[in-house]
Amino acid sequence: METVTKVIKSDSKILEKLPPLLQIDAEGEVPTSGWTDGKLEPRVYIVNPPDGIQDFDFTAEPPQGPASDVVSAIKASATIHFQEWMKGYRIHAKEGSHEVIFKK
């Protein structure tokens, strides 16, 4: 698995279950065709982050053989338990990050 080049956009919703779940769908860019298995991997904290932002790493499996040298789209999703301390989330890629703050 490698980190994708860039995060283009994301959508999220809190699923009203017990306990509530945070579902995130993201779209990113990779440098060639043939990338598969996009994932949003949540970072695990020993202490809750002071900014209230849950961080994710956007990774995917690069092609194993020849690939077209064309920027391509990749998608990934994650569902985690929503925590009271969460004010938003941040998705990290090689070229920057994408941050969303929840509306109150």
- For 53-87, what is each residue's pLDDT tens digit? 999 999 999 998 887 888 899 999 999 999 999 99
Helix (H) or strand (E) holding 47: none
End-to-end CA distance of the chain: 35
pLDDT attached to residue 104 = 67
Q: Quote the CA–CA distance of 73 and 14 in Å, as a whole number.
A: 25
Q: What is the dihedral of CA 76, 79, 80, 85, to 10 degrees?
A: 80
Which pair of tokens denotes residue 77? 């999703």
pTM of the model: 0.92
In sequence order, the 6+-apart residues with CB closer than 8 A to the CB of 84 are none
Q: What is the dihedral of CA 97, 60, 49, 18, to 10 degrees?
A: 120
More confident call, 68 vs 25 = 25
As to burial, measured by CB atoms within 10 angstroms (0-12 exposed, 13-18 middle, 19+ buried), residue 52 is middle
